[in-house]
């Protein structure tokens, strides 16, 4: 779901997990059972944006420390870099 709030001049994007008969659980794969994310993007003037993201998931499995370290040191910064590139390209900023 996405929406634009006139009062705060911010865009919101919200997503959550669902269950579907079309994609039932498969024993050999670990699934995220609960997932929620929200994103708020707001113009704060002078060509700058405020970008706020919240993300939660419960994968129901142990996560190796090397993977947690990789996500926090590489994957998240890369996702933010790509997001910034896309938001600031011609036509968006």
Only one residue has tokens 């997001």, namely: 83
Q: Is pLDDT of 62 > 70?
A: yes
User: What is the pLDDT at residue 1?
Assistant: 75
Domain ranges of the chain: 1-61, 63-93
To the question of pTM greater than 0.85 for the whole model, the response is no
Q: What's the pLDDT at 74?
A: 94
pLDDT tens by residue, 24-45: 888 888 888 889 999 898 888 8
d(CA 56, CA 69): 17
pLDDT of residue 12: 93
Query: In this model, does residue 93 exceed pLDDT 60?
Result: no
pLDDT for 80: 85
């Amino acid at each position: 779901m996405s929406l634009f709030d006139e009062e705060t001049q911010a865009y919101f994007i919200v997503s959550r997990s669902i269950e579907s008969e079309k994609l039932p659980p498969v024993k050999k794969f670990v699934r995220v059972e609960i997932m929620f994310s929200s994103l708020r993007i707001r113009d704060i003037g002078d060509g700058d944006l405020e970008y706020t993201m919240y993300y939660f998931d419960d994968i129901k499995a142990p996560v190796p420390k090397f993977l947690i370290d990789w996500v926090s040191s590489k994957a998240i910064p890369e996702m933010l870099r790509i997001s910034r590139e896309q938001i600031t390209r011609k036509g968006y900023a």
